[in-house]
Amino acid sequence: MRVIFIGPPGAGKGTQAEVISREKGIAHISTGDILRKHVAEKTELGKTAQEYMDAGKLVPDEVIIGMMETRLSEKDCERGFILDGFPRTVPQAEVLDGLLRRLGISLDGVVLFVVPDEVVIKRLSGRRVCKSCGAIYNVHSKRPSEEGLCDKCGGALYQRDDDTEEVIKSRLEVYKEQTAPLVDYYRGKGLLIEVDASGESSAVVKSILDFVEGKK
């Protein structure tokens, strides 16, 4: 199974990708997670990426493309993958097409997470993430059993720097301007499926799996 998840920030792409990748034994590749690791480790790439991320802007295509060419060639991608947060611009999608061709593989589908802005703003401002394993919680809808601690690994939960109201608004604008054009790009290739992502997480997972498995 090889799929791309597209949708505004806070649509639940990371949460659903976590569940499906575990269930299917495939790689969950989140460019945001890879970038945050670079920032935490203060690598050269991380230093370049940080100012864009803090402002809610996209990191330049050339940085992302180099990083993803390496990642997609790794062994764990052979069984399949979910791309969460990549591609985010049409040039990134075009490079991905070329890369998949070179690797001799094709996509099963592109899932568009449809969710209203007000839901996104509420979700993102309540989101908390585990510092150790990246598991996602929410103060409104998915609290850990012990306040501030991850149920899975006991790690400390934190709020991402870009989950503040001002940066959330900028991320939504960036999504509409730079990422939304991918919807037509993939619709034109007959790969797009739209999922209502404002409801229950289990229903979202089910519609994604029904679609991908139904196609095989």
Q: Is 90 a residue that touches ligand AMP (CB under 6 A)?
A: no
Amino acid code (one letter) for 33:
D
Q: Which of 28, 127, 128, 171 binds ligand AMP (CB under 6 A)?
A: 171
* Dist. CA 96–CA 194, nearest whole Å: 21
According to CB under 6 A, which residues from 61 to 80 bind ligand AMP? 64
For the window 140-169, what string marks contact with ligand AMP as x by the rule CB under 6 A?
----------------------x-------
Q: Which of 8, 85, 109, 134 binds ligand AMP (CB under 6 A)?
A: 85
Report whether 2 contacts 81 (CB < 8 A). Answer: yes
* Dist. CA 85–CA 170, nearest whole Å: 16
Q: Is 8 a residue that touches ligand AMP (CB under 6 A)?
A: no
* Dist. CA 212–CA 214, nearest whole Å: 5
* Dist. CA 207–CA 27, nearest whole Å: 20
Catalytically active residues are: 13, 88, 127, 160, 171
Our measurement of the distance from residue 181's CA atom to the centroid of its chain's CA atoms, rounded to an integer in Å, reads 17
Q: Is 81 a residue that touches ligand AMP (CB under 6 A)?
A: no
Query: Residue numbers of the site for ligand AMP (CB under 6 A)?
Result: 9, 31-32, 35, 52-53, 56-59, 64, 85-86, 88, 92, 162, 171
